[in-house]
Structure 1
């Protein structure tokens, strides 16, 4: 299932710059849906990176659609196996409310895709004059998986830490768990957003990504780091679910294959966690059980702490799972196969 990543942000915050940053990474095939509130999609002409497939929604904000059908139709077109895409990125209009976009994604019915995160881009200079203007912190951050605080280079060096701390504090009033990434020129490490296939363009494809890089591309972004812990034996389902529902600090993504002890014996699952959204699926036959492991990705991970948390969750199960944990696992599988996959309710009876 192809991850769908949505970029939101107020007008001029840097969404298209972030999109270009992600597209300029070689070795990954990306499909893009551009949404512009005008009848002509002017944002399409601003894209400089490599797009392997593209669609557009013009004439209105994607979050104002009466239902998810138009977006579902485009997502299914891009999710066709013949396109071999690694990710789909939706650049929403500057008027889009992440809360409504989240609703469309969670209740959409497109086949072949899964939630890959909602990334809200902030203009650090203008944010407090345009978006965060009331006593209450903006509700939009309740739906976001990651917030990119952009244009920090336009703030005097001696004031940057103070501004970043002030903006981050307001965001965390609404969403204490959200990942916050400081940036200039909207440059972030693409590994935070989707898997990178390789460091160079495939030999059978034009080197468009490398050719289109700009001086402020991902090379100038703070790099994410990752921690990997192998899963050689069946782990306890409850322990793995606890890890995913309460990930260790700064772990924005957790992905991989795991063996779990169930009432049917040892079962293998593919796991993808982005922000607080969790996707579970039975492992495919072509994946090698010898490679089963979980990988945590984030900015500034404490590798010792995160590694210990993963290792604890993947300890071999000493007994059969409890009925409650079997129910939790079954519910995750059901949610991940249905439109209601991206529930924010992490409490299970």
Structure 2
């Protein structure tokens, strides 16, 4: 793929009539055919490869929290292992790639000079320090720090507690101790008396859920909450239902919410900079829930608008 891109740029450089495009092609060739670009390209490929499964797991509509937390731990371990033990293998693979592509490989003990900068003003560091410390270590440390900030021990424990509410596979993930621990995270919502009630209520709740066929086919926490309201189980198990409410409110950074914000950037563009809240909400709803809207027959929508008020012409 890399060689193909280079070939295309060389063709543009030779055959293009526009001097501006030739200049852009030449600048791109100069940038691409450097050791630093190849180094960063390989580093990006390695980091994205390590975090790929975690990214996919976090973006699924039906998130498997337990497996996602396991992937977080594995990603941290792999990134740390790459930082501590994989430098030699990594730099050798980059060097081999550059030799195959006929890209000049700098001597690591030479003084590092930034591209386009005079040598007399260069920092007093070697190429080895620049590539290993300034880039390799820095990128991996940033990734590790981001994972640690996003998934602290408390956050991870809380997410694992929430996963115990999942009704999938006959409430297979249910764990009474973890749900009691979840309640302890919120002393203002669960008093000591509520926590005492919760211990007994959970035993009755899980026996009821597993013995009721209405709850046997549920797949996620949202559908469980809806079914409990329909069957008035939220009144029977008010403390357990409070846990469900918290579980539904907490994951505010799910993929669905991120997609909604992305949709807002698409819908509220510079042509619609004066759009009001209600109109934007309607457009967002139509954009985000387009799968549901696609399932509605156009004739039904036409009849709905036709019946809103009398019209001179039939729609």
TM value normalised by structure 1? 0.21
> Considering only CA atoms, is the larger Rg found in Structure 1 or Structure 2?
2
Higher strand proportion: 1
Higher helix proportion: 2
TM value normalised by structure 2? 0.22
